[in-house]
Copies of this chain bind each other. A is one copy, B any other.
Amino acid sequence: MDKRAISIRDVAQAAGVSTATVSRALNAPGRVSEETRRAVLEAVKATGYSVNPAGRNLRQRRTGSVVALVPNIANPFFSAILAGISSVLRPAGLNLLIADTLAGENREGPVRDYLDRTRSDGVILFDGNVSPTALEPRAGVETPPLVMACEWLEGRPLPHVGIDNAAGARVVTEHLLNLGHRDVAHVMGPPENVLTQTRAEGYRTALAEAGLPCRDDWILPGDFSLASGARAAEMWLALPDRPRAVFCSNDEMACGFISALAAKGVSVPRDVSVAGFDDIELAQHVHPPLTTLHQPRRALGIDAAKLLLDLIAAPELYGATHRIEPVELVRRGSTAAPGDG
């Protein structure tokens, strides 16, 4: 048994042809004769050869992998999306790399690292808060195609996959209004986040359409975390005239909100209706189960990966392509008409 792994040379020798022919037989079967193709395939089987990606990548100036940059790997919101991405990438022969933008001190680091043709063939970026300079072209560094997913960068036309957040927020708010509520509060995400802003906009639009004023003191701060939802519940409790419906900008805050209320003996939805956004797994398991807006996470991942593959194949073809996945309101137990219980 040899020490070195078998290479294309061994196959060539076994088949009695040159390495060029072996390569052609495997990658462009139409360009060799039927006879040699068979001989090569047989030699491949006999030797147990499989191509060495490092060699191929070097020659072809590719990396064979696509990187998904998420704000935080530990956030389970992304797992279904990553599964979708993986399901597209694997058949295409590409590896899925993951990294988080929060790793280390500066948010830019990982983005800069991977936004480089020698490091990845393409990037799917889930973080809309990277500094704009991180995406600037740098001298001597070719940048691979980039797809924004879920979040996006304001004022920068980049390919994007996501949902219509404003419309979604509007649907949720209208659901509360349709139940008969006239006083609807809103718990916001982190202020600088595009999702926060867009969802708040949808909320305001729905109120305006219904001819209702938008009261500033009914807009409560948050940061998308469970804890901030609980804090918002405290603020809500302290309001002189508590609105009987609350739309939280994401599910985690809605869950935190509900559980903090439960601890204070306030009943949902009898005393207050609470709705969320995202339809994370937790949403259907809290008590009461959460009314929320469903994001098709696996489909989003699949879309993002497909779009990226298209861009890799033909970088110039696409301007700022957008793919918007449809969303759906999921009515569960956490919302009800003001009188009900």
Residues in chain A within 8 A of chain B (CB atoms): 1, 5-6, 47-50, 52-55, 57-58, 61-63, 65, 72-76, 78-80, 82-83, 86-87, 90, 95-100, 103-104, 110, 116-119, 138-142, 255, 259, 281-282, 285-287, 298
Contacts and interface: CB of A to CB of B under 8 A. Distances in A.
Given A52-B118, A259-B285, 10 more contacts: A5-B117, A53-B118, A57-B57, A57-B58, A73-B82, A74-B80, A78-B79, A96-B99, A255-B285, A286-B287
Contacts of A116: 50
Contacts of A281: 76, 282
A48 B140 contact: yes
Contact of A103 (B48, B57, B87, B298): B87
Number of copies of chain A assembled together: 2
Given A47-B140, A48-B139, A285-B259, A83 B76 contact: no
Which of the listed residues A63, A118, A139, A140 has the most CB atoms from chain B within 10 Å of its own CB?
A140
Contact of A141 (B50, B96, B99): B50
Contacts of A80: 74
Nearest to A120: B95
A142 B2 CA distance: 11
Contacts of A104: 90
A315 to B, nearest CB: 15
28 contacts: A1-B139, A5-B140, A5-B141, A5-B142, A6-B140, A48-B139, A48-B141, A53-B118, A54-B54, A54-B62, A54-B63, A55-B58, A57-B57, A65-B65, A73-B86, A74-B82, A74-B298, A75-B79, A76-B76, A78-B79, A86-B99, A90-B103, A95-B97, A95-B99, A96-B99, A97-B97, A255-B285, A286-B287
